[in-house]
Structures are given as structure tokens and as C-alpha cells.
């Protein structure tokens, strides 16, 4: 049994960021002199996180372009294309190279694939007739620390690729990144896994062993690894998020640990982007709180802040000088953050209260308890009739299916019929995908209450305290995890005396999870 | 001796590059050319293998691939071991005199020498190659180097390495075995797939890749197989290889090679999936005529009856939409009808879902008789729209136009004796929501709030919309004297509401 004991200290993961940055700079220096950088739009937040533009400018990047299919003539004689190894991106690069060729403009180009180049990319370069005209590099930017205790690969494609299509192309990167992690921070004492991809990643890690030195073996951390397939638990990410950060993500979309607020929050024309992982104390305190607790906290913070400001009244000149020199700046910074959080809360309230959140939470609750299924079904039907946003409807539908162990044929037929009428018959494609991914199913006649936890996991789920003696645990989600899950793990860690580090292929929430499976 | 030392240095310093059979592609092509004309003596061990050409290769592969745990190298199934030893080159050798140099890799002997001294904890590395199987030279050298590089016991192994290195350098270059090739791909080393020309080799290659779990390699091999095998042959081989099929489907999707994809799925008996993929193509068709014709064909695709019906409906709907769109465009352009003048159409109705179309028709074509194609009643009948759905949509459309008399009519039903009563399938709380959002007159909101079934909900809505009389009635009904007193403070003094409250509080009929 776990005794609460001092939690293990957190390794300093910022080293990973430094490594990624150094590696990218090294790659850019392969072509000395000025160059333009064309960036896969999906990689922008990542690049912001790791280098920012100023660092790249220092390394002779002249201009940045979003790689969106429009060919841009002119510019520097050297070009870098930074892309994910996806066919569509490679095609865009190839088109750009061919456009240069067409006007016989000679330029030195390099494609940087991150986290690695896939063989199929070469095939496209070859098909497009540019193979050999361009050299390819790999930027192994795999695990990115987005918070102190959260490492993300920022590859949302993993979910669809593996869990819908059964494509294993990302497993290599997951396994390798974990091996690299071991070489820096110490070998995992034990590795536990649940799910198909977890097993494969573990085996791939074994294939890698030997490639990496166990440099810190002995003095390294005593930690263990839990690999968890996303399809082992679909219930959690499909639930409504109620933590502050979860709602921030739902409403504003957190990208690589940063969030951008528009004028509705800032109250000015300008958008403001803040890095949530920067260690702002107020944010650290509210991010995992239930949303309803956040207002109280923010208002008390605001009062404290006011009091600190008010101190300046009745100060003599010397104290005032001191105040301005030391405290004021900090207070101003706090004030700025605080007003952004409050503004964000308002927008969240407005958006969430517009729909009937209360009814929705009631329905979710009924689903978990397995009571009043009829009412849940009619609520979903009502949402469909009203043409509520499709991901929201699919979320409830899938939640119904996974908690009930499938839908009765009649219910499914009826809901499907309504859904196709409201959102278009082409949603047949989406429904077929949900079925394939196991999010939607027919109820098996004799299936008893295999609720909440899918059958395949029963008996395999383990209590951490029973299996691991190390108090530092890396929990790696294959296929994405939500901010609510991170909050839950932090909570569990605090109460049980563990320190959890969360690893994931991407940070996700129910709309992103479901949109990945939408096909029309 | 000095040569040997030099070689050792070479091998020790470059464990990765050392086994490329030369450092450039040229040598690979050279290898290809020399392949056919090489004759190499069998090692003792490999001669053994010749006796075994009765083994059903593909059968074993399938069995092995399905066995859980065999990837971990713990497979002790003798048949499996045999086939591992059984390199493709040799089988060909047994039928003709031609032998590929790959038989060189079945030097089983050296593998066993170090094994005897292998510490147990180095088992890990074996996950790649099954124990006792034929291992390629490079792999073994690789493995032994890794295993012993940190241990003292180097001398004998170095000698072993040197021996293997000599073998490799003796000019008898050749192409790598399947396992080794996959390993090279995994390690990002130069490799060539072209030398694998016989079907067995190709499939072995694929199976090795599947064992590695790296989708990238599986895909790369499939790309090669796609160009070097006739479809029917490849499909037949894929039937027993589900992981490979997944990757192939994924590849074909990404290449937008729908034709091959459909053929594959049909060959695999996954006809409904094939039908969906074919059906999906309609989404990209922006020409209504073209899409209509395409959908018509889709109806007869091998869908289940339910889905066929859905697609039939989709076809009919698009057909209707085409006619409505055509007419309305003309009418709107003529500028005759006020509805179109007051509310210009924002977008074409083509390709919209049924419910959106119903909304459109409730908006622009509400009064039309059932016989008219564009009338809401016609849509409801043709597409079997539920009463609830119809009410939702019609309510929303008529409220948006502030046609309150229509809203009222939608909720009015005839009673038993010629009288009328109000009924709302969707619940009056929803009705209130819709009409109040569209700024309905107070009298209407007030009436509908009063009709809400659930007392709590009614009270909430009445408070929200300031329907005082309903609040007071409901509080009386709920016998909540305290809240009623509270409420009295909120209404204006001497207003009719206050009078109502005072009366209610005095009313002896209510048992507070």
C-alpha cells in the first residue's frame, strides 16, 4: 500500500528543449548564409515554443513563410522547408521546387522533417521529379516539455493513424524518444503497459536498447514507465471538462502550452498570447481547479493585489522609490495576468452557459451511473434535432455507447437516422469511423454491466502503488490525453505521494478527438 | 596480421557503416549484377538445410506471425527454426544450381559460440532475431559488439568479428537477408529492396517488417511490393496479414489511389468498406448534376439495406434541392416575392442536410400546399421527418420571421369537443427558449411559460422572463410562502403583481 511520503523531485526537462533548439540551429547552419524558412502551419506553435523567431533570425533566417501551397518566388537563394512527414506537405514542397524549376531559378533547398522522414516522403519526391534536387534532414524534435511535468510529442495524427487506420508509423518515434529520455534521466526501473500500441512500443524500445548509452545509470532517477493506449479508456476524454485549464483548452484551444486571447478577453484590439507553462504562480494554482472555485480565488487575488497597490499611498519618497524599483513591475505583471484570467473566465462562462451545461452534466452523470438511459437517449436526440455542434453530439453518442457497452439496435438506428437528417447523409462516413475506432457499437445481447471500463481492460488495470516502488512515474498516453487527466494525475500524485510525469503523443480534448475521426 | 588489425579497427570504429557492403549505391547495383553468376560453397550448417525443402514456407510464416511472443525470440518451434534457417537462396539452390550469396548468412555456427557464454541479462537484444535462427553477419557483429563492448571478454569476440569481417571483405559481396535488410531500414542504414525478387523473399521481408512494429518500414516495403507484384498476387498474400493490410489501405488512401484501394478491399471481402470509400468520392463533387448521377450509382453499392436507404434519400433530397434552387434563384432575381426581398438568401440550398433544407422551406415556402415540391409538408412526408423534428425546425424558422400566428398554430391542437388546446411535443420550456430568443411579444412568452410542465423549470423561466403572474401562481402551487414574501420585495409597490401576492398570502384556501 502506498504511504504518503515525500514525492520524488521532478527532473529538469528543459534540457530537452535546449537539445531540440541546438539541433535545429545546427541543421540551419548546414546552409551558411541567409535563408528563408518555410514552415508547416501545424509546426508553428511548436517552433514558437522551442526557439521563437528571434533566435532563428540570429542564425540568418531572413524571412518566415507559412507553407500553405502558395508558391513564393524570389526571396533568398537558400530555402528551408520545415514539415511533418506527411504526404500533403511533401507535395506542397515538391510543387514549390517545381515552380522554381519551371522558371529555371536555381536555389539551394533543404527539407527538414520532424520528427523524422518517412520512406513514403521519398516516394513523393521521386514521383514529383524533385528527388535529388533537394536534400533532406531530420529534426528529431520528439518530446517537448510543455509544462514542468508534461511532455508532449505534439503529433495529434497519432490517434487517427493508429486507432482508426492501424498505421504504426509513429511508434518508432515514441519508442526512440523514450529511449532518449532514459539516456538522459536514467533507465526506467520497470515498464508497464496496457493496450496494443503499448506492447509494440515496449518491444521497439528493446530493439533500440544498445543505441543509447545509459549514461546516468546509477545516478539517474529511479522511475518507472506506464504506457497506456488511448482506446483503453475513451470515457475520460469524452467527459465534459470542468477544470480551468480543461475549459481554457475547450474554448480557446491551447497549442503547445500557449493560448491566444482575442479582443473579447483582452478588451483591446490586440491579441495576447501567453505561455501557460511559464510558471506564473496564479495559473499554477488555478489550472487544475474546478471551474466554480476559480472565481473566488481570482477575486481574492485581485483584492490582495489591490492592497499591495494601495500600500503606495502614504509612502515617503524613499519607500516609494523602492516600491517603484522592485515591486511595481511585478505587481503590474500580476495585474496583467490576472485580468486575462478573469476575462477568459467570462468568455468561458458565456460560451458554456449558452448551451444548457447543467442539463448536459446531469445527462453525463446519469450515463456513468447507468441510470435513466432513456432520458439520455432522448436528450441526445434533442441535441440532434436542434443541430447542436456535431462534435458535441458525437461526444454524447460515443459516451453513451462506451458506458453502456454499445447501443441497442433500435436506439442506434433511430439516432443514426436523425443524425444523418440533421448533419447530412455523408456523416455515414464518420459513423463508420467511430465504429472502427470502437467508439460506437451495437450492444451485444448478453453483455452485462461491463460499464465504464471496457472489458478488455478489466483485470489488467493495476494500482500504481502495488507495482512500483519508485515514486517518480512517467505515464505515457499513446493517442493523446486531456488536461483533465493531467489534473487527475497531479491530484493522485499529491494524495498518494507520487510524482507523475505525463507523456503524450498530443494534448487532446473531446472535440479534437472526434474531429480526427470525422470524414465529411 | 597488420591487415587483420586494420580490419579490426575498421569494424570497431564504425559499427554502423561497416556493413553496407560498400558505402555507396553503386556497389549495390554491382551486387545485383553479380548475383546471378555467383557460386558459393555451402557451409556445413547450411547444407543441412537442403534436406528441408518440404517445409511449407508460407504456412509457417503465418503461424509464426500469429504466435504471441515469437517476436521476442523465444520461439522454440522446430519448424519455425527450420524455416528461419532456410534462406531463400538455398531453396532456389535446391532446384537449380543457382545460389544467391544470401546463403552466406546462414552461418549458423558462429552464432552459437558466443551464445554459450552469453549472460542471461543480455536477452534483450534478441528481440530482433529469434534465437538459433540464421543471422546475418553484420547483425551478429553488431550484436556482439554491443553486448561486449562494455565487458572484458573481448579477445575471442574480436577474433570472431575479424573472421566475419574477412568473409565479408573477401570480395564475395551479396545482398542482405530479409531480416538484415529490415534491420538496416530500422537503423537508417543504406539498404536495397530490389534484390528481393522471389515472392517468398518479398513476403518474408514484409513479415520481418511487421515484426519490427515500425509502420514506416512496413509501408516502404509495401511501396516496393506495389510496384513489383501483380495486384492479384499481392492481395492474395495480404489476406493473411492484417497489419500489412492496414498499412496498405492507409498508404493507398494517402496516395488517393482509390482504384487499387477498392480492388483490394473487394478482394479481401470487405465490400461494405469499399462501398463507403467509393461513396466518399461524392463529397468532393461540387457539380450537382454530376453528384446526383454519382449518388444514383452509389445506391446499388453493396451497402446494408439501411445505409442504401439513407443514400437513396440523399439522392432524392439532392434532386429536390436542385429543383427548388433553380426556381428560387429565378424568383429571387425577378424580385417579385417580398420574402426574398426582405430576407435575401444567404447561400444555396444545394448539398445541405435535410433538416437545413426543411428550415429553408419553412422559411421561404411555408404556406404552400402539400402537393408542392418545396412545401415543408411535402418534405416531411417524403423523408418521414418525425413530428418532433418538424416542430423544432418549423418553430425556429417561423420565430425567426416573427410569424407568431404560425408559431401559435403549430402548438394548437384540436380538443375532443371542438375546443382547442396547446400542446408542445418538444416541451414548452424549449418553446419558451426559441420564441424568447427571437423577441416574441410578452403575452406569448408569458402564456408559454405558464404551460411549462415541471414546476421548478416553470418557476426558473418565469423569474427569468419576469412573468410575475406565473411566478406567483407557481409559488402558490409549490406552497412556498417564504419565497413568495421575498418576491413581494422585488415587485413594484402597488403594482397589480403586489396585489396578487397580498391576496395569495391572505388566501385561506392555500394551506401554506
User: Phi/psi of residue A507, each to 5°?
Assistant: -85, 135
Cell numbers at residue A192, please? 508497464
Identify the CA nearest to A515 among candidates A160, A46, A158.
A160
Burial pattern B334-346, b for ≥16 Cβ within 10 A else e, equals eeeeeebeeeeee
Choice between A486 and B150, residue whose per-residue pLDDT is larger: A486
Nearest residue, CB atoms, A207 vs list B128, B253, B356: B128
Look at residue B140 in the predicted model and tell me its pLDDT. 43
User: Phi/psi of residue A149, each to 5°?
Assistant: -120, 20
Query: Which 8-state DSSP code applies to residue A407?
Result: B
Compute the C-alpha angle B91/B93/B98, nearest 5°: 135
Tell whether the model's pLDDT for residue B60 goes beyond 70: no
* Distance of alpha carbon B192 from alpha carbon A281, whole angstroms: 56
Interface of B with A in 97-156 (CB under 8 A): 124-125, 127-128, 146
Look at residue A433 in the predicted model and tell me its pLDDT. 97
Query: Which 8-state DSSP code applies to residue A159?
Result: I
User: Phi/psi of residue A394, each to 5°?
Assistant: -65, -35
CA distances from B170 to B19, B162, B164 (A): 13, 12, 10
Q: Which helix (H) or strand (E) holds A113?
A: strand A108-113
End-to-end CA distance of chain A: 50
Tell whether the model's pLDDT for residue B426 goes beyond 90: yes
* Distance of alpha carbon B370 from alpha carbon B377, whole angstroms: 5
Secondary structure E strands in A156-280 = 188-194, 223-229, 258-261, 272-275
Q: Establish if A203 touches chain B: CB-CB under 8 angstroms.
A: yes
Nearest residue, CB atoms, B280 vs list A167, A203, A519: A519
Look at residue A200 in the predicted model and tell me its pLDDT. 96
Nearest residue in B to A422, CA atom: B355
Lowest-confidence pick of A68-72, A316-320, B43-47: B43-47
* Distance of alpha carbon B160 from alpha carbon B135, whole angstroms: 14
Q: What is chain A's alpha carbon radius of gyration, rounded to the nearest angstrom? A: 25
pLDDT band for B157, please (50, 70, 90 cuts): low
Contact state of A421 with B217 under an 8 Å Cβ cutoff:
no
pLDDT in tens, B107-147: 333 333 333 333 333 333 333 333 334 444 444 444 444 44
Q: Other C-beta atoms within 10 Å of A269: how many? A: 7
Interface of A with B in 172-191 (CB under 8 A): 172
Tell whether the model's pLDDT for residue B151 goes beyond 70: no
* Mean pLDDT along residues B310-339: 94
Tell whether the model's pLDDT for residue B474 goes beyond 50: yes
Tell whether the model's pLDDT for residue B287 goes beyond 90: yes
Q: Which residues of B touch A195 (CB under 8 A)?
A: none
Tell whether the model's pLDDT for residue B470 goes beyond 60: yes
Look at residue A278 in the predicted model and tell me its pLDDT. 77
CA A408 to chain centre: 34
Tell whether the model's pLDDT for residue B82 goes beyond 50: no
Lowest-confidence pick of A53-57, A383-387, B10-14, B199-203: B10-14
Look at residue B372 in the predicted model and tell me its pLDDT. 92
Look at residue B162 in the predicted model and tell me its pLDDT. 63
Choice between B83 and B337, residue whose per-residue pLDDT is larger: B337
Nearest residue in B to A172, CA atom: B214
* Distance of alpha carbon A85 from alpha carbon B445, whole angstroms: 57
Q: What is chain B's alpha carbon radius of gyration, rounded to the nearest angstrom? A: 40
Look at residue A333 in the predicted model and tell me its pLDDT. 86
When scoring B65, B221, B353, B385 by the number of chain A Cβ atoms within 10 A, the one with the most, hence best to mutate, is B353
Q: Which residues of B touch A118 (CB under 8 A)?
A: 216, 219
Q: Establish if B395 touches chain A: CB-CB under 8 angstroms.
A: no
Q: Which helix (H) or strand (E) holds A473?
A: strand A472-478
When scoring A121, A202, A205, A206 by the number of chain B Cβ atoms within 10 A, the one with the most, hence best to mutate, is A206
Compute the C-alpha angle A256/A261/A267, nearest 5°: 165
Tell whether the model's pLDDT for residue B13 goes beyond 80: no
Query: Which 8-state DSSP code applies to residue A162?
Result: I
Nearest residue in A to B315, CA atom: A425
Number of residues assigned to chain B = 512
CA distances from B174 to A134, A491, B187, B204, B228 (A): 30, 59, 19, 18, 21
Cell numbers at residue B332, please? 429571387
CA distances from A417 to A254, A442, B374 (A): 35, 15, 22
* Distance of alpha carbon A343 from alpha carbon A335, whole angstroms: 12
DSSP B12-53: HH-TTGGGSSSSSHHHHHHHHHHHTT---PPPHHHHHHHTTT
Contact state of A210 with B146 under an 8 Å Cβ cutoff:
yes
* Mean pLDDT along residues A11-26: 95
Secondary structure E strands in B391-444 = 412-414, 420-422
Identify the CA nearest to B218 among candidates B238, B200, B198.
B238
Identify the CA nearest to B405 among candidates B360, B451, B365, B443.
B443
Interface of B with A in 292-351 (CB under 8 A): 306-307, 310-311, 313-314, 317, 351
Cβ(A511)–Cβ(A238) below 8 Å: no
Q: Establish if B230 touches chain A: CB-CB under 8 angstroms.
A: no
Contact state of A168 with B247 under an 8 Å Cβ cutoff:
yes
Identify the CA nearest to B26 among candidates B173, B205, B167.
B173
pLDDT in tens, A99-147: 999 888 889 999 999 999 999 999 999 999 999 999 999 999 999 999 9
End-to-end CA distance of chain B: 113
Look at residue B370 in the predicted model and tell me its pLDDT. 85
Look at residue B150 in the predicted model and tell me its pLDDT. 44
pLDDT band for A220, please (50, 70, 90 cuts): low
Lowest-confidence pick of A320-324, B198-202, B426-430: A320-324
Look at residue B509 in the predicted model and tell me its pLDDT. 81
> Exposure of B3 by Cβ count < 10 A (0-12 exposed, 13-18 middle, 19+ buried)?
exposed
Contact state of B250 with A166 under an 8 Å Cβ cutoff:
yes
* Distance of alpha carbon A296 from alpha carbon B170, whole angstroms: 80
> Exposure of B269 by Cβ count < 10 A (0-12 exposed, 13-18 middle, 19+ buried)?
exposed
Shortest distance, CA A166 to any CA of chain B (angstroms): 5
* Distance of alpha carbon A259 from alpha carbon A241, whole angstroms: 17
Look at residue B16 in the predicted model and tell me its pLDDT. 35
Lowest-confidence pick of A94-103, A328-337, B320-329: A328-337
Lowest-confidence pick of A231-235, B53-57, B97-101: B53-57
Nearest residue, CB atoms, A165 vs list B127, B246, B392: B246
pLDDT band for B175, please (50, 70, 90 cuts): low
pLDDT band for A215, please (50, 70, 90 cuts): low
Choice between A303 and A448, residue whose per-residue pLDDT is larger: A303
Share of chain A above pLDDT 70, in %: 92
When scoring B185, B187, B250, B281 by the number of chain A Cβ atoms within 10 A, the one with the most, hence best to mutate, is B250
Choice between B261 and B32, residue whose per-residue pLDDT is larger: B261
DSSP H helices, A219-266, are: 235-238, 244-252, 263-266
pLDDT band for B375, please (50, 70, 90 cuts): very high
Lowest-confidence pick of A350-364, B154-168, B396-410: B154-168
**B122: number of CA atoms within 13 Å, CB side?**
17
Look at residue A465 in the predicted model and tell me its pLDDT. 53
DSSP H helices, B170-198, are: 178-186
Look at residue B158 in the predicted model and tell me its pLDDT. 66
SS3 state of residue B422: strand
| Residue whose C-alpha cell is 547552419 | A29
Torsion of CA B485, B486, B488, B492, to 10 degrees: 170
Would you report the helix, strand and coil content of chain A in percent, each value rounded to 5? Answer: 55, 15, 30
Q: Establish if B426 touches chain A: CB-CB under 8 angstroms.
A: yes
Q: Which residues of B touch A429 (CB under 8 A)?
A: 276, 279-280, 283
Tell whether the model's pLDDT for residue B363 goes beyond 50: yes
Q: Establish if A161 touches chain B: CB-CB under 8 angstroms.
A: yes
User: What does DSSP say about strands A61-66 and A35-39: parallel, antiparallel, or unpaired?
Assistant: parallel
Look at residue B154 in the predicted model and tell me its pLDDT. 60
* Distance of alpha carbon B387 from alpha carbon B367, whole angstroms: 18
pLDDT band for A357, please (50, 70, 90 cuts): confident
Look at residue A209 in the predicted model and tell me its pLDDT. 83
Identify the CA nearest to A276 among candidates A251, A244, A301, A305.
A244
Compute the C-alpha angle A326/A328/A331, nearest 5°: 115
Tell whether the model's pLDDT for residue A377 goes beyond 50: yes
Torsion of CA A233, A234, A240, A243, to 10 degrees: 40
Number of residues assigned to chain A = 520
Shortest distance, CA B242 to any CA of chain A (angstroms): 9
Shortest distance, CA B237 to any CA of chain A (angstroms): 18
* Mean pLDDT along residues B275-291: 95
The segment with the largest mean pLDDT, out of B53-62, B143-152, B341-350, is: B341-350
* Mean pLDDT along residues B241-267: 95
Tell whether the model's pLDDT for residue B179 goes beyond 90: yes
pLDDT in tens, A444-463: 765 444 444 444 443 344 45
Choice between B27 and A196, residue whose per-residue pLDDT is larger: A196
Cβ(B53)–Cβ(B213) below 8 Å: no
DSSP B275-309: HHHHHHGGGG---HHHHHHHHHHHHTSS--HHHHH
Q: Which positions ≥6 away from A425 have C-beta within 8 Å?
A: B310, B311, B313, B314, B317, B353
CA distances from B122 to A78, A191, B118, B159, B314 (A): 48, 17, 7, 21, 62
Nearest residue, CB atoms, A203 vs list B71, B283, B307: B71
Amino acid at each position: 500500500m502506498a504511504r504518503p511520503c515525500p514525492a520524488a523531485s521532478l527532473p529538469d526537462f528543459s534540457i530537452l528543449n535546449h537539445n531540440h533548439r541546438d539541433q535545429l540551429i545546427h541543421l540551419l547552419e548546414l546552409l551558411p548564409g541567409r535563408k528563408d524558412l518555410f514552415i508547416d502551419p501545424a509546426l508553428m506553435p511548436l517552433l514558437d515554443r522551442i526557439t521563437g523567431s528571434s533566435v532563428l533570425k540570429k542564425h540568418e533566417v531572413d524571412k518566415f513563410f507559412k507553407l500553405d501551397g502558395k508558391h513564393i518566388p524570389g526571396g533568398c537563394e537558400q530555402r528551408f522547408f520545415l514539415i511533418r512527414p506527411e504526404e500533403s506537405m511533401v507535395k506542397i514542397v515538391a510543387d514549390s521546387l517545381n515552380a522554381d524549376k519551371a522558371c529555371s531559378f536555381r536555389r539551394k533547398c533543404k527539407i527538414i522533417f520532424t520528427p523524422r522522414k518517412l520512406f513514403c516522403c521519398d516516394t513523393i519526391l521521386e514521383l514529383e521529379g524533385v528527388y535529388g534536387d533537394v536534400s533532406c534532414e531530420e529534426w528529431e524534435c520528439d518530446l517537448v516539455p510543455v509544462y514542468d511535468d508534461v511532455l508532449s510529442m505534439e503529433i495529434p495524427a497519432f490517434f487517427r493513424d493508429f486507432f482508426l487506420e492501424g498505421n504504426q508509423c509513429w511508434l518508432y518515434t515514441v519508442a526512440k524518444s523514450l529511449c532518449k529520455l532514459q539516456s538522459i534521466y536514467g533507465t526506467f526501473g520497470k515498464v508497464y503497459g496496457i493496450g496494443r500500441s503499448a506492447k509494440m512500443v515496449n518491444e521497439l524500445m528493446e530493439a533500440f536498447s544498445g543505441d543509447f548509452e545509459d549514461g546516468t545509470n546509477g545516478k539517474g532517477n529511479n522511475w518507472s514507465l506506464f504506457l497506456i493506449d488511448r482506446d483503453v479508456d475513451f470515457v475520460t476524454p469524452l467527459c465534459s471538462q470542468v477544470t480551468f485549464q480543461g475549459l481554457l483548452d475547450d474554448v480557446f484551444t491551447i497549442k503547445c502550452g500557449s493560448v491566444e486571447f482575442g479582443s473579447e478577453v483582452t478588451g483591446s484590439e490586440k491579441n495576447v498570447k501567453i505561455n501557460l507553462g511559464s510558471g506564473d504562480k496564479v495559473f499554477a494554482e488555478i489550472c487544475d481547479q474546478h471551474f466554480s472555485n476559480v472565481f473566488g480565488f481570482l477575486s481574492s487575488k485581485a483584492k490582495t493585489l489591490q492592497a499591495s497597490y494601495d500600500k503606495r499611498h502614504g509612502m515617503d519618497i524613499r519607500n516609494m522609490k523602492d516600491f517603484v524599483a522592485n515591486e511595481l513591475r511585478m505587481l503590474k505583471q500580476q495585474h496583467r495576468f490576472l485580468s486575462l484570467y478573469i476575462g477568459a473566465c467570462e468568455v468561458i462562462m458565456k460560451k458554456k452557459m449558452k448551451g444548457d451545461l447543467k442539463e448536459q452534466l446531469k445527462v453525463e452523470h446519469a450515463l456513468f451511473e447507468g441510470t435513466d438511459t432513456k432520458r439520455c437517449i432522448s436528450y441526445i436526440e434533442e441535441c440532434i434535432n436542434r443541430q447542436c455542434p456535431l462534435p458535441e453530439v458525437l461526444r454524447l453518442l460515443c459516451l453513451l455507447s462506451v458506458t453502456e457497452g454499445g447501443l441497442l439496435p433500435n436506439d442506434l438506428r433511430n439516432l443514426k437516422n436523425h443524425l444523418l437528417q440533421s448533419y447530412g447523409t455523408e456523416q455515414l462516413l464518420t459513423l463508420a469511423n467511430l465504429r472502427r475506432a470502437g467508439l460506437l457499437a451495437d450492444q451485444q445481447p448478453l453483455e452485462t454491466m461491463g460499464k465504464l471500463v471496457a472489458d478488455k481492460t478489466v483485470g489488467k488495470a493495476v494500482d500504481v502503488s502495488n507495482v512500483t516502488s519508485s515514486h517518480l512515474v512517467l505515464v505515457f498516453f499513446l493517442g493523446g490525453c486531456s488536461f483533465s487527466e493531467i489534473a487527475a494525475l497531479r491530484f493522485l500524485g499529491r494524495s498518494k505521494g507520487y510524482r507523475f510525469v505525463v507523456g503524450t503523443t498530443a494534448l487532446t480534448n473531446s472535440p479534437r478527438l472526434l474531429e480526427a475521426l470525422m470524414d465529411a | 596480421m597488420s591487415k587483420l588489425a586494420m580490419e579490426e579497427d575498421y569494424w570497431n570504429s564504425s559499427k554502423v557503416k561497416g556493413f553496407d557492403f560498400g558505402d555507396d549505391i553503386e556497389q549495390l547495383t554491382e551486387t545485383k549484377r553479380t548475383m546471378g553468376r555467383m557460386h558459393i560453397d555451402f557451409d556445413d550448417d547450411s547444407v543441412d538445410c537442403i534436406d528441408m525443402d518440404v517445409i511449407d514456407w508460407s504456412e509457417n510464416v503465418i503461424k509464426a506471425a500469429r504466435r504471441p511472443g515469437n517476436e521476442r525470440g523465444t520461439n522454440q518451434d522446430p519448424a519455425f527454426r527450420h524455416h528461419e534457417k532456410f534462406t531463400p537462396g538455398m531453396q532456389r539452390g535446391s532446384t537449380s544450381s543457382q545460389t544467391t550469396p544470401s546463403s552466406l548468412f546462414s552461418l549458423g555456427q558462429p552464432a552459437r559460440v558466443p551464445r554459450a557464454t552469453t549472460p542471461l541479462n543480455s536477452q534483450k537484444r534478441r528481440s530482433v532475431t529469434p534465437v538459433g535462427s540464421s543471422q546475418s553477419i553484420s547483425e551478429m557483429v553488431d550484436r556482439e559488439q554491443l553486448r561486449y563492448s562494455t565487458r572484458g571478454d573481448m579477445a575471442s569476440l574480436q577474433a570472431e568479428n575479424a573472421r566475419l569481417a574477412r568473409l565479408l571483405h573477401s570480395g564475395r559481396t551479396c545482398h542482405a537477408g530479409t531480416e538484415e535488410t529490415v534491420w538496416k531500414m530500422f537503423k537508417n542504414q543504406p539498404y536495397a529492396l530490389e534484390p528481393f525478387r522471389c515472392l517468398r523473399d518479398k513476403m518474408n521481408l514484409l513479415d520481418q517488417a511487421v515484426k519490427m512494429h515500425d509502420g514506416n518500414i512496413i509501408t516502404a516495403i509495401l511501396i516496393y511490393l506495389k510496384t513489383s507484384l501483380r495486384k492479384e498476387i499481392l492481395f492474395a498474400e495480404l489476406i493473411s496479414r492484417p497489419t500489412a493490410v492496414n498499412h496498405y489501405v492507409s498508404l493507398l488512401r494517402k496516395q488517393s489511389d482509390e482504384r487499387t484501394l477498392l480492388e483490394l478491399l473487394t478482394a479481401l471481402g470487405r465490400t461494405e468498406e469499399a462501398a463507403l470509400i467509393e461513396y466518399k468520392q461524392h463529397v468532393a463533387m461540387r457539380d450537382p448534376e454530376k453528384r446526383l448521377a454519382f449518388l444514383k450509382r452509389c445506391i446499388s453499392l453493396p451497402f446494408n439495406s439501411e445505409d442504401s436507404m439513407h443514400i437513396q434519400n440523399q439522392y432524392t433530397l439532392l434532386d429536390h434541392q436542385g429543383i427548388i434552387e433553380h426556381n428560387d434563384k429565378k424568383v429571387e432575381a425577378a424580385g417579385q416575392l417580398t420574402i426574398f426581398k426582405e430576407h435575401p438568401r444567404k447561400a444555396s440550398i444545394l448539398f445541405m442536410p435535410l433538416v437545413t433544407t426543411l428550415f429553408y422551406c419553412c422559411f421561404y415556402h411555408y404556406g404552400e400546399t402539400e402537393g408542392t415540391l418545396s412545401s415543408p409538408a411535402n418534405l416531411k412526408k417524403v423523408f418521414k421527418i418525425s413530428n418532433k423534428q418538424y416542430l423544432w425546425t418549423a418553430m425556429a424558422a417561423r420565430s425567426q420571421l416573427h410569424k407568431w400566428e404560425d408559431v401559435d398554430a403549430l402548438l394548437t391542437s384540436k380538443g375532443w369537443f371542438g375546443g382547442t388546446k396547446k400542446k408542445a411535443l418538444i416541451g414548452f420550456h424549449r418553446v419558451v427558449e426559441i420564441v424568447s430568443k427571437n423577441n416574441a411579444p410578452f403575452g406569448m412568452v408569458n402564456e408559454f411559460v405558464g404551460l411549462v410542465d415541471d414546476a421548478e423549470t416553470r418557476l426558473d423561466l418565469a423569474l427569468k422572463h419576469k412573468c410575475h403572474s406565473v411566478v406567483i401562481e407557481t409559488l402558490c402551487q409549490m406552497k412556498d410562502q417564504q419565497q413568495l414574501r421575498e418576491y413581494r420585495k422585488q415587485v413594484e409597490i402597488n403594482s397589480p403583481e403586489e396585489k396578487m401576492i397580498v391576496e395569495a398570502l391572505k388566501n385561506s384556501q392555500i394551506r401554506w
